[in-house]
Amino acid sequence: MGLAPLWRLRGAEPVDDLPAEVPAPEPVAPAPAVPTSRPAPLADFMPPPVASAAAPVVAPVPRPVPSGDLAGLGWEELEARIRACDACALCKRRKQAVPGVGDRQADWLFVGEGPGADEDERGEPFVGQAGRLLDNMLASIGLRRGSDVYIGNAVKCRPPNNRTPETDELAACFPYLARQIALIQPRLIVALGRPAAQALLNQEVRIAAARGKLFAYGEIPVVVTYHPAYLLRNLADKAKAWEDLCFARATMKRLKADAV
């Protein structure tokens, strides 16, 4: 698509030569501490409870353990359950459910909103125009679909007319995402857009306000950024998304360094 050059800030070096530590874009704050092993107790990298509002690490909102009987399922059974799911009305108009794709032992998990028409047709997430942009976003930080990267969605069935998933649809589908996370055990999750962030963090999220902060899903750090489809309509925010990805990359680097 020729979008790749847009993923370099003016005057920036090629992505392979990015500075080792990229500061969080906003607020300007010291780099957050990260766990010293994998997995590590969240408390290891949480600020004190009375930390200032500018603290970049945000406590997770407790949530009930997902109900149902997914806990013991492996990948094949889980994907079969997703494909046969009728837990919400989205099943009625889908061509097929879209479980997710990629490296099942990835350090990186990217979570989108839900399948669109192309994904509904092909059964794979992010294969349309937004997917091509996502691939460029991954490439901008040295990542590639399927290689140490897993891509999933907050809902596994296409919402009609690509509307935003409803809260009850996100909730009905969440146990599948939770089981995928438990199986993958990623080091870092990147939430692409508001519905993905809300599903993961169990709280209202405004992307503009959440950028540059480190959230957590259980013990796993979560970085929030704009959804690629939003970026296709709002080109000016691509530079912010690139900053978010650099923040994610720097966070991953610290996580790996602290784990050795």
Interface with ligand URA (CB under 6 A): 112-116, 119, 125-126, 130-131, 153, 229
Contacts of 180 (CB under 8 A, 6+ apart): 78, 99, 100, 109, 150, 152
- Least spacing, CB of residue 98 vs ligand URA, in Å: 6
- Least spacing, CB of residue 190 vs ligand URA, in Å: 12
State how far the Cα of 97 lies from the Cα of 89, in Å rounded to an integer: 12
Contacts of 70 (CB under 8 A, 6+ apart): 78, 81, 175, 176, 178, 179
In the chain, the amino acid numbered 132 is R
State how far the Cα of 127 lies from the Cα of 24, in Å rounded to an integer: 29
- Least spacing, CB of residue 228 vs ligand URA, in Å: 7
- Side-by-side strand order, sheet with 215-217: 101-102, 149-153, 108-112, 188-192, 220-225, 215-217
- Least spacing, CB of residue 13 vs ligand URA, in Å: 30
Looking at the Cβ atoms of 112 and 186, the one nearer to ligand URA is 112
Looking at the Cβ atoms of 140 and 153, the one nearer to ligand URA is 153
Looking at the Cβ atoms of 35 and 125, the one nearer to ligand URA is 125
Looking at the Cβ atoms of 58 and 157, the one nearer to ligand URA is 157
- Pick the closest to residue 177 from 210, 139, 220 (CA basis): 220
Looking at the Cβ atoms of 56 and 152, the one nearer to ligand URA is 152
- Least spacing, CB of residue 119 vs ligand URA, in Å: 4
